[in-house]
Structure 1
Amino acid sequence: MSEALKRPADKYSPLYFLASLGAGGISVTFFMVFFFWVKHPGQPVPVFEDIMAAFTTGSVPLKAAIVIAWVGIAVFAFLNIKSLIWNIGALNRFKKTDAYKALRNSNAESTLLAYPLALAMTVNVGFILGLVFVPQLWSVVEYLFPMAMVAFGLIAVIAFRIIADFLGRVLSKGGVFDVTAHNSFAQMLPAFAIAMIAVGFSAPAAMSTATVTVTASLIISTFLGVAAILYTVLAATSAISSMLQHGTHREAAPTLMVVVPIITVLGIMFLRQDHGLHTTFEVHGGAGETMIFLARLLSVQVVFLLLGMLVLRRQGYFNDFVMGSKTSPGSYALVCPFVALSVMTHFFTNKGLVAAGAIAKFGVAYWALSAIAIALMLVAIFLVFRLNAQHFGKTKPSGAVAVPAE
């Protein structure tokens, strides 16, 4: 059997769902071009008609940006869906093995939450594809919102069933959770999955005009968001003591930056909720308050990004697992922080600084900050193609296979 293992991905880990997640996240970063650079009067997000109008009448640089965004969304949405389909098939085969049984009785059981996490991202990507490429979508959007909430509801059921199995096992019995292997933020993956479902549920709050739909969106996304925050705090707190005693688990070191994408998706959820409260329930907030709120979120993200990069550099992670010959499925967790920070930088620039009047839209400061967001996106793109080549495109000796991080 070992001779048949010709690439790292042939030794499956649920963390490979992060390959789908990362590609989907990059599609979102390309959508930021339309969201913030294309005028979309009449609805809170740009649709096909808005983009075509901008492409027809816009400047040459805007037209070029639109074409690049179109291609980027299409390419990475394809990679997102392709990877998701592959992972679902691989997971179903993996469930028939002894390795799966061992995983379900170890700390690594929580890695199964990468499945609903990736599913939720793909639903978001599907909505972006509809907005960008489907004419007249907005005329039927009020019918799509309940369907989307049903889809996210089913994904939430999958996520909470996995969490219930995991927590039920480790909290009802003593000695089944290896605290010495808890020296990373890998156990925050369930919180990330819940947060991704929460931001999906919050979309109708910002976009629907039906009071019932907005109310349901606000309440359900609030529950999920609070659950994600509680899980994040508890998982991070319990992990820190183990990391201080045993150091950070080398293969799981990228999880030190998982706080970054969690904050981005929850931040977007809060912004969507605020918009829904404003348009439906006449609850008004100030632009300055939003600017400071986003600045605080961005500050926390930068702190955790710097912490993660410090540890990764000290451990030589990039030299071995990104640019070197060693492989780990947990490497795909590197993509998410750069995607998330790119998206948050766009929001801070546009919904924060520009909306508050601190900087002028399309001015020098605006383009300087946008350049940072684009640079972060390019890093994420590089990582996706590099890791895909390592794990799926190259033959490897049977010894150079991935080991799931705990």
Structure 2
Amino acid sequence: MTAGPRGLSQVAPTQTADHTPAATAKTTPRKWMAVATVGVAVFAVTTTEMTPMGLLPSIAGDLHVSEGQAGLSVTLYGVLAGLLAPATTVLTGRIDRRTLLLTILAVFAVGNALSAASHNYALFMVSRFTCGLIHGLMWAIVAGVAIRLVADRDAVRATAVVFSGISLALVLGVPCSAFLGSILGWRWAFALLSALCALTFVLVRLLLPALPSQRSFAFSDLVPLLKSKSVRRALIVTAGVVIGNYSAYTYIAPFLSGARGINDGLIGALLLSYGIAGVAGNFASAALLNRFRTIRPVLAGLTVVMTAGVLLMMIPTYSLLVIALGMAVWGAAYSALPVALQTLVLRVSDKRSGEATTSLYVLVFNCAIAVGALFGGIAIDGGGPRMPMLAGAMFCAASLVAICVIREATETVRPERFIPQDG
């Protein structure tokens, strides 16, 4: 996760790109193709963020650094993506959204090409820095782009299509990158990602209409949110869960190879089981949230299940079945958690400040990925491949304390009442 959070807020009926009232307009096949193209962009960006996690041993060995140092490529990426999300959103508030999306894809094409061409650690980190600079902006605008391409009645479906790119990155992107890296070398994984970003750039240019900016927010809008105890608690829970996940998941490849003796080809298959279970968990989360008036039991239950999945993988065993089961339990629980966390953020904030709250969520989420990767790197360099898993389980368990003191509105949040807000 990485994931990218989906900002939702109440807004008035919008207009589609051809200026037809969205409430009565029909979503044409061409517009659905445009939505699908945005989904491919999400897939490419998310895969770029997570690809090093499945290739750390190869990257570290080839660049002559430790696996902990190689993991800093995830840390740096997350720090930049999180810290710069509010700033880049404010600074680009008046720029056409199609232009921004094209710019993001161009930067990612160049950044991935630099990664593929990296023959030393410094250049590889520069390539990750290049992509991390603009990653947060992607999540600030992509949901708004999707819903402006379709009629109001299709907004939820368009959002689902676009953000299916995240699930597909877990199911296909990362495992395929790991598998390709084990056969051809890790540089080819980044080279193909660069080509995918370039191809998506062309498709966006051909299929998306001009999308002038409709609204923006200022840094001053964040201050009242930061003073809210409920918002702060929601962000703390988000940080705890995400740090726990990425302390372990960033170093899953070294754990599977070093602590469990699994070859590189099977690591890709195990990551695939994580991703498939994650898709199921993503769909199951909505059903869980509809069964409870408050989010606390859902968050607590999912956190316990995720911790159990991580610990299950640490049981001394050479059974691939047990390890695959642990990966699946872990993947299903973690993929369901961001949906619950998003809903929590909506309930504890003023619905009129949805975009500002979302930018804080983006900041915390991505910085937590970076902190998790950092802690995991310290753990693996200091105690071996099992230590990141233990650190992740401890952070997840600790976040249960914060979950127990959460207070949020008990009103059920229905998807049809909210549509993503443009950046």
TM-score (norm 2): 0.26
